[in-house]
Chains A and B, each alone.
Chain A
């Protein structure tokens, strides 16, 4: 009896806290948790006419279809290929850039470089997609320059292989500066006496880079790398959606764009939900594993 009374008074004392967080909780319940129940559609043959309650149940039919239907297999392959290329490039390029920038000692020049390379990160893929379709088109400036130098016109956004290359390079172009921030921050934290000691032992700057700077970055690289693995099924919806066209659907279509077209354009709600659920479940497992690994190896945690 005493216990119950105690917890009751405690609850009333802390009631303002519960009330403060209530609006956010309601928002999350409606827009994040309620849609999760809609995932049951993946096991139905959902007909808008019949509604959620009366549509027939079909079990794992859509999932079987997903793995036998050539289009969806191609889409899963594209997603994995584009995402893994991006993850690799988005680790190597920023590190190289950060190493080079770290060697610059003129502060004003350093700021100038940083100001320019961080900029594309803040522009949306709608804007960048507009810019890229303009400069990479058949009559765009890039092909214009290529023909001036006697090269052939390249269909950057119309040829499957070139499309994949363009997607990876433009993503690196947009993000490398911003991704380099974390490495630059880690580099500024390296103990200077390590370099002084190496200097006395006669190590060249290149040797110092390979034996001091890079090893000091390993924990950060591990954390960034593992966390990126949680994104292996996110090949960049915004980017692909704003760059692709029917010519490159075969090589450029990824899970998210596929779900959008099949679900919202063609109206195959259940199949699209099944593909989406497949992606969510795999991503969930990967992200949780990645966080655990990052916590163990890099002492990273969000809370």
Chain B
């Protein structure tokens, strides 16, 4: 047996050590920023903080959470995440159900959907169109252009296809139409996959920042991710005409760290659930035998 040899035992010890170091390196930067956010401003500027707060204080958080600009963007991000996920899931479910049926026109629809994954108009034409539709500075601009997620639709379609056809046939004999069998048979049977895709959609919406940056001309309408992006990339601040006094506070190192942590917090909270689901979601639709 190979794992009883001395050489392999040595390997196991080194391997365990190596993997421990690698895993810790993956979160160490986050730990450092967390430590800075809970440190006193002077300790942070003097570079005394490593992986544990120096001069522990939650002042950075109280300053962040009492800042009206930050709070406004936090609320907008929540609105966007909730409404965007609801809309996107409604479209995903209906489109996926249709694509999972065999009917005249399915081939056309499939190509209509998949082609958008292969080719697109690119940044400038999309931007021009959205501005001409007068969607800028509204919540719609954050949820409509990305409402149809073709990849999620394909995944959902595959979940629906795995549900035995006999169930729907039985329902159809009892007189149920398409809509009814979708609501009473397919949806209840695919709750776990619905939850997974909703979670991914929420993470996506929470993390999206670029649409906010280009479609919101008023910085007070920035969602949190865009707001953080502008604070961190101080260079773009001049365009946003935020009051310099406010800017001074927001860009201070401890406060900036606190904002990064708050921005990452929802992701960290749903991470255990994400982790449970994503392996399944990722390997689905990959290699088929």
Q: Which residues of A contact B (CB under 8 A)?
A: 7, 10-11, 14, 16-18, 20-21, 23-25, 27-28, 30-39, 41, 97, 100-101, 103-105, 109, 112-120, 122-124, 126-127, 129-135, 139, 141, 144, 173, 177, 181-182, 185-186, 199, 204-205, 208, 219-220, 223, 237-238, 241-242, 245-246, 256, 259-260, 263-264, 269, 272-273, 276-277, 279-280, 284, 287-288, 298-303
Q: Which residues of B contact A (CB under 8 A)?
A: 1-3, 5, 7-8, 11-12, 15-16, 18-20, 22-27, 29-30, 32-33, 36, 47, 49-50, 90-91, 94-95, 97-99, 101, 103-105, 109-110, 112-114, 116, 118-130, 133, 144-145, 147-148, 153-154, 177-179, 182, 203, 207-210, 214, 225, 228-229, 232-233, 235, 253, 256-257, 259-260, 263-264, 267-268, 271, 274-275, 278-279, 282-283, 285-289
How far apart are the CA atoms of A141 and B239 in the complex, in Å? 30
CB-based closest 7 A-B pairs: A38-B125, A35-B121, A276-B122, A124-B207, A116-B23, A21-B98, A35-B125
Judged by DSSP, the binding face of A is helix
* Contact A263-B129, Cβ < 8 Å, known A27-B91, A113-B19, A124-B225: no
Residues on the B chain within 8 Å of A120, using CB: 26-27
* Contact A16-B178, Cβ < 8 Å, known A118-B275, A122-B267, A126-B263: yes
How far apart are the CA atoms of A185 and B282 in the complex, in Å? 10
In the complex, what residue of chain B is closest to A294 when comparing beta carbons?
B287
29 A–B contact pairs at CB < 8 A? A24-B94, A28-B113, A34-B121, A35-B120, A36-B121, A37-B121, A97-B22, A116-B24, A117-B26, A123-B30, A124-B207, A126-B229, A127-B267, A130-B228, A130-B260, A131-B260, A177-B26, A181-B278, A208-B2, A242-B232, A242-B233, A260-B123, A276-B125, A280-B121, A298-B287, A299-B287, A299-B288, A300-B286, A303-B110
Contact assessment for B154 and A303 in the assembled complex, using a CB-CB cutoff below 8 Å = yes
In the complex, what residue of chain A is closest to B133 when comparing beta carbons?
A30
* Contact A14-B124, Cβ < 8 Å, known A24-B95, A131-B29: no
Judged by DSSP, the binding face of B is helix
B261 to chain A, nearest CB (A): 9
In the complex, what residue of chain A is closest to B145 when comparing beta carbons?
A31
How far apart are the CA atoms of A10 and B1 in the complex, in Å? 66
Contact assessment for A39 and B256 in the assembled complex, using a CB-CB cutoff below 8 Å = no
* Contact A36-B119, Cβ < 8 Å, known A27-B144, A124-B225, A127-B260: yes
A182 touches which one: B225, B228, B282 (CB < 8 A)?
Answer: B282
B62 to chain A, nearest CB (A): 20
How far apart are the CA atoms of A135 and B260 in the complex, in Å? 13
Residues on the B chain within 8 Å of A39, using CB: 121-122, 125
Residues on the B chain within 8 Å of A118, using CB: 275, 278
How far apart are the CA atoms of A276 and B98 in the complex, in Å? 33
Residues on the A chain within 8 Å of B126, using CB: 31, 35, 38
Contact assessment for B29 and A20 in the assembled complex, using a CB-CB cutoff below 8 Å = no
User: Which of B122, B214, B235 is the most central at the interface, judged by chain A CB atoms within 10 Å of its CB?
Assistant: B122
Contact assessment for A28 and B125 in the assembled complex, using a CB-CB cutoff below 8 Å = no
